[in-house]
Copies of this chain bind each other. A is one copy, B any other.
Amino acid sequence: MNRMTEGANVRLPLPPAMLVRLGELFGERLSTISAMREHHGRDASSYDPMPPDAVVFAESTEDVVALVRLCNEYQVPLIPFGSGTSLEGHVLALHGGISVDLSRMNRMLAIHAEDLTATVQTGVTRKQLNHEIKDSGLFFPIDPGADASIGGMAATRASGTNAVRYGSMRENTLALTVATADGRIIKTGTRARKSSAGYDLTRIFVGSEGTLGIITEVTVKLYAQPEAISAAVCSFQTIGDAVNALIQTIQLGVPVAGVELLDENGVRAINAHSKLTLPEQPLLLFEFHGSEHGVKEQAQTVQEVVAEHRATGFEWATRPEDRSRLWAARHDAYFALLQLRPGSRAISTDCCVPISRLAECILDTKADCEANGLVYSIIGHVGDGNFHTQMLVDPNSEADIARAEGVNARMVSRAIAMDGTCTGEHGVGLHKIDFLIEEHGDEAIATMRALKHAFDPKNIMNPGKIIRW
């Protein structure tokens, strides 16, 4: 009997013989204690934990392969765990099984400064990577907020504030080492910056959320640290004005490195949390990278554009401390919101739409939040058309949760109807499986299923995520 193909939530205990062999292979790096399992059965989503039956700490690709082979032999689920910061239930052990903790795979394998590439073990975090390369004049731009592992970021196709300029993990992953479901090791690419050599295995695994194989090493692109960085902030009468200013900025070809929208609730929260006095109106926060003159020119162009859209309080911050203060406030926005209602939990969701539909999608979603009496904020990486809705709920109130989930469902349907996507950067995990079907349709889902069945015929790789078997 295959526990994973019999429907959701079928859990069988680990075969005792397998547990013995796990102990032989991993010794003290195998844990079945409750607190450890509990920790590995939750992520940063609002789901209650679903703990695995055991946790194994891997230290090498070979460890992962040995584990995959055992799981393959016993048909037991295997769930990769990086930093536990995913947002849609990605690491929950829906059918039990083994959580493989990859955080000890944190070695830098190679930095090639001339080639602007770094190869790291999967558990290296983005902050660690940037710390290691900071003296080389290079940096790794992708910043999803949390200090996620690079492997986890690849697995969820993460992006963040700088994607409008530098792309997401889709564009910035050159090659992966992957342990396949049948226990082979494959390299999906090379360090060449482009390639037309066959099927794009790299991008098959980027965003596959551990359901097709386990990423053990990642080669990413690096970038020259810009000569100058500056930030600008301004407030708008309406979200429509803010988005129209943004559209015009992009159409003028201004190469903004980041552009964030906060609605008035987001501004209120960071004012309270970070002791700022920003007007409690829709706000755009820009980041510019370039030469000294280039960032000045970008800021000037943006200043002219936003003025045409009735912006006020345009402030240009070139000093690192001013810039950091603004962006730090932005990065704290999630926690700032939580403090507006102590004891609450945030349901955080995202979607992404063509930018011409962005204002409408945000405004309709705000109206829905308000009609449902929610404490919420909307914050977006709006250069890409991507925004997040955070809704505070009482974790003990089913009605509260149902209201928030209703808003989420309608927001996603709205985005899909606008030729957008159900998630711009969070991934599908558990939470968006039905929305993925809504977005792609049964025929495309059938094609995704064919891929899953071909790559993981026993459904042992993070079963129950992205698509149902």
Which residues of A line the B interface, CB within 8 A?
112-117, 137-138, 156-159, 163, 167-168, 170-171, 180, 184-201, 203-204, 206-208, 212, 223-227, 247, 250-253, 255, 290-291, 293-294, 297, 352-356, 384-386, 415-416, 419-428, 432, 435-436, 439-441, 443-444, 446-448, 450-455, 466-467
Q: Determine how close the nearest CB of chain B comes to the CB of A214; give it in whole angstroms.
A: 14
Contact partner of A198 (CB less than 8 A), chosen from B184, B195, B436, B450, is B436
Q: Determine how close the nearest CB of chain B comes to the CB of A69; give it in whole angstroms.
A: 14
In the complex, are the beta carbons of B224 and A444 less than 8 A apart?
no
Chain B residue nearest to A446 (CB atoms) is B184
- Which 10 pairs of residues, A with B, have the shortest CB-CB distance? A224-B253, A454-B454, A203-B203, A195-B421, A114-B356, A115-B354, A192-B352, A186-B444, A192-B421, A157-B196
Question: How many Å lie between the Cα of A294 and that of B247 in the bound state?
Answer: 21
Could you write out 22 A-B pairs with CB less than 8 Å apart? A114-B251, A115-B385, A157-B195, A157-B200, A159-B196, A167-B167, A184-B443, A185-B443, A186-B441, A186-B444, A189-B421, A190-B420, A191-B420, A192-B352, A193-B355, A198-B428, A199-B204, A199-B451, A199-B466, A200-B204, A203-B204, A294-B297
In the complex, are the beta carbons of A188 and B453 less than 8 A apart?
no
In the complex, are the beta carbons of B204 and A419 less than 8 A apart?
no
Q: Determine how close the nearest CB of chain B comes to the CB of A68; give it in whole angstroms.
A: 13
Contact partner of A114 (CB less than 8 A), chosen from B198, B355, B421, is B355
Q: Determine how close the nearest CB of chain B comes to the CB of A177; give it in whole angstroms.
A: 10
Q: Give the interface centre of A138, A291, A385, A415 by most chain B CB atoms within 10 Å.
A: A291
Known contacts A191-B354, A444-B188, A451-B451; is A196 also within 8 Å of B294 by CB?
A: no
Contact partner of A195 (CB less than 8 A), chosen from B424, B451, B466, is B424
Question: How many Å lie between the Cα of A201 and that of B466 in the bound state?
Answer: 13
In the complex, are the beta carbons of A420 and B192 less than 8 A apart?
yes
Chain B residue nearest to A448 (CB atoms) is B199
Question: How many Å lie between the Cα of A466 and that of B227 in the bound state?
Answer: 43
In the complex, are the beta carbons of A194 and B440 less than 8 A apart?
no
In the complex, are the beta carbons of B447 and A180 less than 8 A apart?
yes
In the complex, are the beta carbons of A197 and B253 less than 8 A apart?
no
Q: Determine how close the nearest CB of chain B comes to the CB of A85; give it in whole angstroms.
A: 14
In the complex, are the beta carbons of A227 and B250 less than 8 A apart?
no
Q: Residues of B contacting A294 with CB < 8 Å?
A: 290-291, 294, 297
